[in-house]
Amino acid sequence: MYNFLDPILLPKVTTKCSAMDRYEVDNLISADYLVKSRGFIAYTTMKPPIEIDFKLICNASLSHIIISSKLGSHKSSGVEILVKNTNCDFVSICKAFYEENGVVFCNSRYYSKTKPPINNNGYHMSYFKSNEFRAFINADTIRVRILRTDGTVPCLAAVEIWGNISKSCSFDTAKTIRRLVGKNKPTLQDTVLEDANKIDCKTFEIPDDFKDALTYDLMAIPLTLPSGHTIDQSTLEKCLATDASCGRHGCDPFTGLRYTEKRKPVLNVALKTRIDMFLLSNSHLPEMFSVKRTLGNKDYKISSTNQKFDETRNYSDISHVSKKIKLACDNSDSNSLDDAIRNALSNKDFVRFTNTSSDIEKEHVNENICINCSKEENLYLLPCKHLYCRTCLLNIESKFKCKNCDIEFLREDLQKYHC
């Protein structure tokens, strides 16, 4: 028995429905596991019914069809299967409305409720129409029609079409298919791993609560937002950088509310522990070879002269994210337009389109006094354009952070200021 949507058997998929970016229908037959795990999500304006056609490599005698229809917060709850071949047009062979996360359509000659398919995943079971057996024992195109959703856009997480080569196929066709499948004969190591995993016959999949609520990718360092959604640290950093580059305050991407000291993202320690255990226990699986590890992306720090990487940072620490959130929280306390502009310009992620210095950056320099004690001698200029006397600078040099704007600096960034 073969899964005719295995990339080795070169299936084709088409649809007239528009899809969300990175969640196209081609993901359902992709050979890349990470791409395939994204599934298909229709565009937000699309409503049921929508149709997706799978063209098989040859005519097939269908045994069962498995459809996983829950993807993140999206879920399809009504599906119809139609088949066709060169001798007849599309014919409906089964239909089901269900509450589970998926549905399995079976040939009643092979399966029953007491003898379900091994890889049924606990989904709702339905059966092919017995009076249409001539269609599903010789099908070359399978059409999946999504009829209903649970208040969301139509989606499919995965589709598997299992069956045998139809008796109407020639001997050469059957031989070619067996040769294609034979290219992936299991090695001794694969056989040992398969025997070790026989207890759990379910299809491997990443739990939904381990996925980023925005990107649906596996999280490395999960952070829970004030809105209750959980996203990865790298996703939060991109959101904060985008807000800063546009001159906006940092805010929750789901609600648009600004971060404050009492309303800000926090590390979900319990979820991170579960993700780490999941990665360790499944590290031997081929699907996990290209998944990023538990430490996430490598963090870096930017100086005023060039970009330098901090090799000694503990990458599981999210203090650098907390600093960005603190800046966003501080910005939310500004009540005047001048304060908002000054905070935006002092942010290191702010994008400038001219090479001239702003008047706001020069106002502290033109005063020619220490910003901390108002002395006028032995002054030093920081990258943030604030002046400090030698005495005050010695007090803050151990922390390498300006007391006025909380911007970090390096020892070599200091410049002697001459009035």
- Are residues 182 and 62 part of one domain? yes
Measured distance CA(75)–CA(41) in Å, rounded? 10
- Are residues 370 and 293 part of one domain? no
**What is the CATH number for 392?**
3.30.40.10
Q: What DSSP letter does each residue of 2-22 carry, written as one string? A: EETTSGGG--EEEESS-B-TT
Cα 152-157-161 angle, rounded to 5 deg? 130
Structural domain range at position 310: 211-326
Residue 216 has pLDDT above 80, yes or no: yes
Summarize the confidence of residues 36-47 as an average pLDDT.
Answer: 90
Residue 197 has pLDDT above 60, yes or no: no
Measured distance CA(302)–CA(409) in Å, rounded? 9
DSSP alpha helix (H) spans, 150-268: 171-182, 188-196, 233-245
- Are residues 215 and 187 part of one domain? no
Residue 183 has pLDDT above 70, yes or no: no
Q: Per residue in 119-159, pLDDT tens?
A: 777 889 999 988 888 888 888 899 999 999 988 899 999 99
Return the SS3 of 343.
helix
Return the SS3 of 205.
coil
Q: Per residue in 94-114, pLDDT tens?
A: 999 999 889 999 988 888 888
- Residue carrying the six token digits 């057996």: 133
- C-alpha 29 chain-centroid distance: 18
The answer to whether residue 31 sits within a structural domain is yes
Domain boundary among 326, 344, 375: 326
- Are residues 221 and 184 part of one domain? no
Return the SS3 of 166.
coil
The per-residue pLDDT for 231 is 92
The per-residue pLDDT for 328 is 58
207-236 residues labelled b (16+ CB within 10 A) or e (exposed): eeebbbbbebbbbbbbbebbeebbbbbbbb
User: Total domain count for the chain?
Assistant: 3
Domain boundary among 132, 162, 196: 196
- Which has the higher per-residue pLDDT, 374 or 343? 374
Q: Omega before 49 cis (within 30°)?
A: yes
Q: What DSSP letter does each residue of 374-407 carry, written as one string? A: ---SSEEE-TTS-EEEHHHHHHHTTTTB-TTT--
Please report, rounded to a whole number, the percentage of residues in the chain having pLDDT higher than 70. Answer: 76
Summarize the confidence of residues 153-180 as an average pLDDT.
Answer: 88
- Are residues 115 and 57 part of one domain? yes
Measured distance CA(30)–CA(39) in Å, rounded? 10
Pairing verdict, β 74-85 and 70-71 = antiparallel
**What is the CATH number for 21?**
2.60.120.260
Inter-residue contact 20 to 196 (CB < 8 Å) = no
The answer to whether residue 348 sits within a structural domain is no
Measured distance CA(323)–CA(157) in Å, rounded? 37
The answer to whether residue 28 sits within a structural domain is yes
Cα 324-328-334 angle, rounded to 5 deg? 145
The per-residue pLDDT of the chain, averaged, comes to 78
The per-residue pLDDT for 413 is 79
Summarize the confidence of residues 296-325 as an average pLDDT.
Answer: 45
The per-residue pLDDT for 262 is 85
- Are residues 165 and 38 part of one domain? yes
- Average the pLDDT over each of 133-142, 397-406, 410-419 and give the range with the smallest value: 397-406
Residue 376 has pLDDT above 50, yes or no: yes
The answer to whether residue 345 sits within a structural domain is no
Domain boundary among 305, 326, 347: 326
Residues sharing a CB contact under 8 Å with residue 81, sequence separation 6 or more, in sequence order: 65, 92, 93, 94, 95, 105, 142, 143, 144, 145
The answer to whether residue 205 sits within a structural domain is no
CB atoms inside a 10 Å sphere around CB 372: 18
Measured distance CA(119)–CA(325) in Å, rounded? 45
Residues sharing a CB contact under 8 Å with residue 406, sequence separation 6 or more, in sequence order: 323, 326, 327, 330
- Average the pLDDT over each of 144-148, 277-281, 317-321, 401-405 and give the range with the smallest value: 317-321
Both tokens assigned to 70 = 């829950």
Q: Per residue in 6-25, pLDDT tens?
A: 888 889 999 999 998 889 99
Residue 35 has pLDDT above 70, yes or no: yes
Summarize the confidence of residues 169-194 as an average pLDDT.
Answer: 67
Measured distance CA(324)–CA(313) in Å, rounded? 16
Measured distance CA(126)–CA(217) in Å, rounded? 31
User: Exposed, middle or buried, 76 (CB in 10 Å: 0-12/13-18/19+)?
Assistant: buried
- Are residues 240 and 120 part of one domain? no
- Are residues 159 and 109 part of one domain? yes
The answer to whether residue 351 sits within a structural domain is no
Phi, psi of 149 (to 5 degrees): -130, 165
Q: How far is CA 369 from CA 345, 361, 364, 392, 419, in A?
A: 21, 15, 8, 12, 9
Measured distance CA(36)–CA(11) in Å, rounded? 14
- Which of 373, 372, 374, 370 lies closest to 417 in space, CA to CA? 370
Residue 235 has pLDDT above 50, yes or no: yes
- Are residues 242 and 169 part of one domain? no
- Are residues 366 and 297 part of one domain? no
Measured distance CA(74)–CA(79) in Å, rounded? 15
Return the SS3 of 256.
coil
The per-residue pLDDT for 314 is 44
- Are residues 10 and 128 part of one domain? yes
- Residue carrying the six token digits 């249409």: 132
- Are residues 222 and 161 part of one domain? no
Q: Per residue in 272-292, pLDDT tens?
A: 988 888 888 887 777 776 666
The answer to whether residue 21 sits within a structural domain is yes
- Average the pLDDT over each of 41-55, 286-300, 308-322, 347-361 and give the range with the smallest value: 308-322
The answer to whether residue 154 sits within a structural domain is yes
